[in-house]
Amino acid sequence: MNEELRDTNLKLIAFGAAVGLLYGLMIRFGSRIFPQSSAFAVMSIGFLFFLPFAMGFVTVFVVERRRRQSAGMWILLPWIPVVAGEVTTMFLNFEGAICVVMFTPIALVASSLGGVAAGLIARYGPSRGKNVSVACVLFLPLVVTPVEPRFLAQQQLRSVETVVDIRATPDIVWRNIERVPRIRPEELRRSWTQRIGFPSPVEATLSYEGLGAVRHASFEGGVLFIETIDIWQPEQRLAFSIRAQPVPPSTLDEHVTVGGAFFDVLRGEYRLEPLPNGVTRLHLSSRHRVSTDFNWYAHLWTDAVMRDIQKEILRVIRNRSEMANAVSAKR
């Protein structure tokens, strides 16, 4: 008998998760069918928070109304439709791995909150108000999304700096930053940003030495940055404005593409600091723009991504400079 009840409960849980998944996919398909509609904007609090909240709510509500579940089930059950929805949208090429990784932490929390709210309402709420509550929650993402830009849309400039100590003289380090010859695959580590789909650096060319010179910084996947030098102090400082060229759609998801509506890299600067014993401390800083309705969350990811990419660039420069320094010392 207990086994029969367990099987029945599993079928009920699967049904509730399927309802939550279907609801979430309907909203996501809406953004594809009506790309210009503000009600289906993906880069919004409505999509980022209230959609998984509603998915978790309807999932638990459907199950709890038919059979009482534990509080743990209220929290964990909503994760099933959220994760299934992510897998489905990636399979359909609606979303890239980058967006899924950024979406997952807040989506899981929001879906659990929705599940707990649904469990409490289904178990303790007045009978007449339960269906009204469900209807309100289901329409919540579509109601919030169109109005939130009036209050939440903002542009924020962020700065990120990374530092590395290099056992080489400033003149050697300088030669390795003004131009960066093609980077061999074995020179790069498999960083977490590469694993989620961000392209790796390839090379940086220089038109000539001095102010006004142009660097072409290339990354894999056809990503190119045009860097115009506005500070040229040999062996001390190298700074430049950055203009991203159009990124191929197959390289980066449209929601995180560089130079797009939501994210852009604006400036970069190398600063060399001589230290005792032939060591040079190299600073690499950058400034980027974040333009979303949820910059308080988005900037955590953009800062982390820029910091990881800069660390990888500095690691290549350090290894090349120290190798050149060792060769020079043997002469």
**Which whole number is the average pLDDT over 263-285?**
95
pLDDT above 90 coverage of the chain, percent = 64
Most confident of 5-9, 104-108, 120-124: 104-108
Q: What is the pLDDT of residue 176?
A: 95
Q: 156-330: what CATH class? A: alpha beta
**CA end-to-end span of the chain:** 85
Q: What is the DSSP string of 98-137?
A: HHHHHHHHHHHHHHHHHHHHHHHHHHHS-HHHHHHHHHHH
Q: Output the pTM of the full model.
A: 0.86
Q: Work out whether the CA dihedral 260, 214, 309, 298 comes out positive or negative.
A: negative
pLDDT level of residue 314 (50, 70, 90 thresholds):
very high
**Which whole number is the average pLDDT over 187-197?**
87
Most confident of 1-5, 94-98, 150-154, 294-298: 294-298
Where do the domains of the chain lie? 2-150, 156-330
Q: What is the DSSP string of 36-86?
A: T-GGG-SSSHIIIIIHHHHHHHHHHHHHHHHS---HHHHHHTTHHHHHHHH
Query: In Å, how far are 12, 64, 99, 164 from 7, measured between CA atoms?
Result: 9, 16, 36, 58
pLDDT above 70 coverage of the chain, percent = 98
Alpha-helical regions (H) of the chain: 2-33, 45, 51-66, 71-76, 79-91, 97-124, 127-147, 149-152, 170-178, 192-195, 295-330
Q: Is the model more confident about 59 or about 133? A: 59
**Which whole number is the average pLDDT over 16-29?**
94
- For residue 167, give both structure tokens: 């056992």
Q: Which residues pair with 229 in a beta bridge?
A: 240
pLDDT exceeds 90 at position 330 = no
User: Which tens digit of pLDDT belongs to each residue from 43-93?
Assistant: 899 999 999 999 999 999 999 988 899 999 999 999 999 999 999 998 988
User: Which tens digit of pLDDT belongs to each residue from 205-231?
Assistant: 999 999 999 999 999 988 999 999 999
Q: What is the pLDDT of residue 331?
A: 66
Q: How many CB atoms lie within 10 A of CB 43?
A: 21
- For residue 144, give both structure tokens: 């919030």
Query: In Å, how far are 16, 263, 320 from 209, measured between CA atoms?
Result: 65, 30, 21
Q: What is the pLDDT of residue 1?
A: 43
CA 184 from centre of chain: 26
Q: What is the pLDDT of residue 132?
A: 85
Q: What is the pLDDT of residue 24?
A: 94
Q: Which of 44, 18, 50 is nearest to 114 (CA)?
A: 50
* Residues contacting 224, CB < 8 A, separation 6+: 216, 217, 218, 244, 245
